Chain A
């Protein structure tokens, strides 16, 4: 397991490097002069040049690239061109919100999606299966902002159970949780749809395996066959799929944060886009990239824990 972990860690390095390169290129190569964007069209050429000089934009591309990598290697993600605060400060301020939301949505997706998927697979072609398939297909057709709006309409405006704006006092656990419910549901329900489908197809595959027949042949009760013998195996691909959908979740959290006016990485990115704060944007993309590389790594490691064939490599 240790060697496997080390191997995965090392494999993540070139991926990270490649991702960083792509971020660098997208931000430099795509048209639109950040200096003009920041200073406005009326700024004189001298001011613009001085500004570009200060940001190092006049250097050759490869010098900028080298500096970019060197700074990241030192943990320096730059600072906002608007607020002047470092990317770390800005990210640090909203990170707890983002982590809460992501973790809660994943949790909802797993806790609802896996049982539903298993149930549908066990009753293949029965009415439970049809309803589950139809509802999950509907669920993944929902744009994240629309689930959020519907939840607000029902639970905040009609029933008045929850606040319209999710601005939690992070120091107060009760308030933190209270403000998390609706945003987490809005993403968690979509996540549930994806996990249900993944769990169903993975279970269907596993239930047809020879070792499931072996378990039945030795008189293992049906419940144990499904939950102990089949699900243990089905979880392996499900984990991979959940890892993949985490990216989707992170993308969609932008929408949820806008609707609930909740602080988070997504809102930060939209704000810096609107302000054309390209230094901030670059830093945020790097944070996203690291986030995703870490998620992939965690997925691989969970995989290793679940599958003895990987563990004993």
Chain B
């Protein structure tokens, strides 16, 4: 029964090191042209937000009763709202709010959730049980309802919106971070670190975190898309950053009252949300292909 079974492993050595990850990334990006489109769109929108003061044609909060509800024209490219404010300029400035809240909430959720997940996976036992039970419960609530509840309780402000949205993604990050931690924990070199007397904290930060980070970052790009959509939704409900600061959701909310006479008021900010969320989804979709070993062939 011991005839030759020298299995020839296919030569797809799958390292997990950073250069390997970057090489994969580049290859998948090249194979999946749409992720380039996503990257270009996203970077473009970020630049537009950063340079909003240079690009804006008008002051975004400057009211002008004479120019109320004007349709798009040469002087107001995307028209004006019910206070005579320039829609194009407000969309540019609104991008800042969407991006700040989207990125900051995901960063906060990533740090807190990632830490909880790594802790749960590394410690195991009752710590794991306790953390993950709570996470599962939080996860069972619809994200928007949870965000709504927390913002309503804390009050609508930029910081509270960030906290509320971060709160809804913490359990997702915890789950994602936990699984690879458990896998890494069992490896010999972690055992060796422990034998050498390294502290748990040091092992978690120096040795486990890098192994877990790739996947977390990819999903972070997808969830940033969700976070931006939720911010827009909360603003639309009336729980966004308070007026007169321009937010996309808030603009759509105000514009919707004039849907019959001035549909551009809801359409253009809506398209802005769509474009930003879409660009992040394109980007994240490509990135996910890059890290999914099943799709690497």
A residues contacting B by CB (< 8 A) are 15, 18-19, 21-22, 26-27, 30-32, 134, 137-138, 140-146, 149-150, 152-153, 157, 247-248, 250-252, 254-255, 258-259, 269-270, 273-274, 276, 281, 285, 288-289, 292-293, 296
Which residues of B194-241 are within 8 A (CB) of A?
Answer: 225, 229, 232-233, 236-239
A141 near B225: Cβ-Cβ < 8 Å? yes
| Interface of A, helix, strand, loop or mixed by DSSP | helix
Please pick, from A30, A143, A254, the residue contacting B145 in the complex, using a CB distance under 8 A. Answer: A254
Determine, out of B3-11, B13-21, B135-143, B175-183, the stretch whose residues face the partner at the interface.
B135-143
A248 to B168, CA, bound (A): 12
* Chain B hits for A255, CB < 8 A: 144, 233, 236-237
A15 to B134, CA, bound (A): 10
- Does B256 sit at the interface, judged by CB under 8 A? yes
| Interface of B, helix, strand, loop or mixed by DSSP | helix
17 A–B contacts, CB within 8 A, in A order? A21-B137, A27-B153, A143-B233, A143-B249, A143-B270, A143-B273, A145-B233, A146-B252, A150-B270, A247-B141, A252-B233, A254-B237, A258-B236, A258-B237, A270-B148, A288-B141, A292-B140
Which residues of B225-281 are within 8 A (CB) of A?
Answer: 225, 229, 232-233, 236-239, 249, 252, 256, 259-260, 263, 266-267, 270, 273-274, 277-278, 281
| Closest 4 A/B residue pairs (Cβ) | A251-B142, A251-B144, A30-B153, A141-B278
Number of interface residues of B (CB under 8 A): 43
CB distance from A38 to the nearest CB of B (A): 14
Nearest A residue to B255, CB-CB:
A149
* Chain B hits for A31, CB < 8 A: 153-154
Residue in A273, A274, A285 whose Cβ sees the most chain B Cβ within 10 Å: A273
- Does B152 sit at the interface, judged by CB under 8 A? yes
Residue in B137, B155, B249, B266 whose Cβ sees the most chain A Cβ within 10 Å: B137
Q: In the complex, given contacts A143-B249, A255-B233, what are 16 additional A-B residue pairs having Cβ atoms less than 8 angstroms apart?
A: A19-B141, A22-B134, A22-B138, A140-B281, A141-B229, A143-B273, A144-B233, A146-B252, A149-B259, A149-B266, A152-B259, A153-B267, A247-B143, A250-B142, A251-B145, A259-B256
